[in-house]
């Protein structure tokens, strides 16, 4: 193996024809002969180039609707032969095989095909590339002598190397491109395997294939002594922080991404519960410390930020609609400091105002909230393994709440419980939150016992007399109350409606307490542990 290897012959077979013609023309201008197949050959010919057709080289026609065209010793021998092994060189001479020095292949669009609505199984299977991955893997294996190109983004680098090295590529480039090639075929195969697993009834296959694309190296992980990176799910189609557009600010950190994902989740839930109103949430350490709904976006933000202004300092804010100038003015008011503001979109003047106030604040445009995307699996690593479960996407429905005790809840009160339900779902368990129909008042999260969570929520909420004078004050629990002591603390503080899953052996004691004190008790039947 030598560092510099000249490129004399290239095989090009691409489904993605972006920048194909400039790249191919650049190769020809540097004296490189081009071999091509099917649609690529046609595109090059129409552009005035003169590629050699693969079937001319192999002596066999493309057949079986294109399933068989490059699977031939003339092709793979030219790619795989080591130029420094005498027996390989002799075999090439004996069988009239010419070396192929560059392979440019991107694969059939399987991923795009399976994302189409109502695509059939037969249509998807026909987009499973066979010859392409075979050529890519052959070229990547023999990267000592062959340059493999799998993405249009690599074209300029290859042309630049040819110009800088008198028509040769360096080993460093070939190694980098081979690494990318194997990553691409692994991603491709994993996507096919995941799709085929999904066509069966098995929710959890015997072998779990993960398909994530490296997106960014992070400065560090959760703590400075931990390295970190973020990977993107290429098949996820809903709004997400990994696909969000960065409007301004410095790169997101590991913790920023965690918090932003939680902020998006709760705002999505609030939007789904009442799409006719605007919603906002403030997240700190993945827990909601504020949430609000209003007839205006700026009003929703003000309500959310007032939930716990101390905790909100340096927090992450999510909003359910486009941020206009008025909302931006509300956000920057006072001595506030925010790490991230995410929303479906930002008006230019609103983004400029936010960037002027906090030059490092990350502004993320996440797109419309109307499509939650695929439900998929929630994955969590543990030493020696991985835990997998369905995502907790159970929707809130006011009609699903069951009256258990106390004064009857009308439709308005049942709907009002939605905000508390959305917040407690995102809090770390044991979790309690206290809220009005419009805003979070206080939350107790991550406590080892539910009584402590109740006490913390009461302490965070403060005096409830003013809130109670304007309407119901609702306390939500992510799981059942094992004893009535927690509810007693909440009721003593001024709560007049409890919402919880139910299911405790001592539920009757909690119900009796609510009956005695005139407290409405509603059961969700759904637990929302978030450890």
4 and 165 Cβ atoms separated by less than 8 Å: yes
- Of 17, 141, 500, 531, catalytic: 141
Rg (CA), the chain: 30
Cα angle: 424, vertex 430, 432; to 5 degrees: 40
Q: How far apart are CA 107 and CA 385, in angstroms?
A: 32
Q: Which residue among 72, 88, 285, 394 is the active-site one?
A: 285
CA 473-479-485 angle, 5° bins: 65
- How do 432-435 and 474-477 pair as beta strands? antiparallel
Q: Three-class SS of residue 280?
A: strand
The three-point CA angle 86-87-91 to 5° equals: 120
Token output for 109: 């669009």
Cα gap 300→290, rounded to integer Å: 10
Q: Is 141 a catalytic residue?
A: yes
Smallest CA-to-CA distance from 428 within 444, 449, 450, 451 is with 444
Peptide bond into 430 cis (omega under 30): yes
Coil, helix or strand at residue 71:
coil
Neighbouring CB atoms inside 10 A of 288's CB total 31
Identify the CA nearest to 524 among candidates 405, 396, 435, 389: 396
Active-site positions read 141, 285
């Amino acid at each position: 193996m030598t560092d510099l290897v000249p490129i004399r012959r290239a095989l090009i077979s691409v489904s993605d024809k972006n920048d194909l013609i400039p790249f191919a023309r650049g190769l020809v201008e540097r004296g490189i002969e081009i071999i091509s197949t099917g649609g690529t050959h046609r595109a090059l010919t129409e552009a005035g180039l003169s590629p050699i057709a693969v079937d001319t080289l192999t002596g066999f026609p493309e057949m079986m609707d294109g399933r068989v065209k490059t699977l031939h010793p003339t092709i793979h021998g030219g790619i795989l032969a080591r130029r420094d092994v005498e027996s390989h060189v002799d075999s090439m001479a004996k069988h009239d095989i010419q070396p192929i020095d560059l392979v440019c292949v991107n694969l059939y669009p399987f991923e795009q095909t399976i994302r189409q609505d109502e695509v059939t199984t037969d249509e998807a299977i026909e987009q499973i590339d066979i010859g392409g991955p075979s050529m890519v893997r052959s070229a990547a294996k023999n990267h000592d002598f062959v340059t493999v190109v799998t993405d249009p983004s690599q074209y300029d680098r290859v042309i630049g190397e040819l110009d800088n090295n008198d028509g040769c590529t360096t080993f460093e480039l070939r190694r980098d491109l081979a690494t990318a090639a194997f990553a691409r075929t692994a991603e491709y195969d994993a996507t096919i395997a995941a799709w085929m697993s999904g066509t069966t009834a098995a929710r959890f296959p015997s072998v779990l294939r993960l398909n994530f694309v490296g997106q960014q190296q992070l400065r560090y992980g959760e703590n400075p002594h931990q390295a970190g990176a973020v990977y993107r799910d290429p098949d996820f189609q809903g709004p997400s922080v990994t696909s969000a557009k960065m409007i301004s600010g410095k790169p997101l950190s590991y913790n920023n991404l965690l918090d932003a994902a939680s902020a998006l989740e709760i705002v999505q839930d609030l939007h789904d519960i009442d799409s006719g109103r605007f919603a906002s949430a403030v997240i700190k350490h993945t827990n909601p410390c504020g949430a609000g709904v209003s007839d205006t976006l700026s009003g929703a933000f003000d309500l959310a930020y007032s939930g716990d202004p101390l905790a909100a300092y340096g927090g992450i804010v999510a909003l359910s609609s486009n941020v206009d100038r008025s909302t931006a003015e509300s956000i920057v008011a006072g001595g506030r400091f925010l790490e991230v503001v995410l929303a479906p979109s930002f008006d230019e003047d609103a983004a400029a105002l936010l960037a002027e106030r906090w030059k490092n604040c990350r502004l993320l445009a996440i797109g419309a909230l109307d499509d939650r995307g695929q439900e998929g699996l929630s994955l969590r690593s543990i030493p020696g393994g991985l835990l997998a479960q369905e995502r907790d996407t159970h929707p809130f429905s006011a009609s699903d709440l069951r009256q258990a005790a106390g004064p009857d809840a009308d439709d308005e009160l049942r709907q009002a419980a939605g905000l508390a339900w959305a917040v407690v779902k995102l809090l770390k368990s044991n979790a309690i939150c206290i809220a009005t129909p419009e805003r979070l008042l206080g939350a107790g999260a991550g406590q080892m016992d539910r009584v402590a969570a109740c006490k913390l929520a009461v302490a965070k909420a403060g005096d409830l007399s003013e809130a109670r004078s304007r309407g119901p004050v609702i306390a939500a629990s992510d799981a059942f109350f094992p004893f009535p002591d927690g509810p007693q603390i909440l009721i003593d503080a001024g709560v007049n409606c409890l919402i919880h899953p139910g299911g405790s052996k001592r539920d009757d004691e909690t119900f009796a307490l609510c009956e005695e004190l005139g407290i409405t008790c509603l059961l969700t039947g759904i637990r929302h542990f978030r450890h």
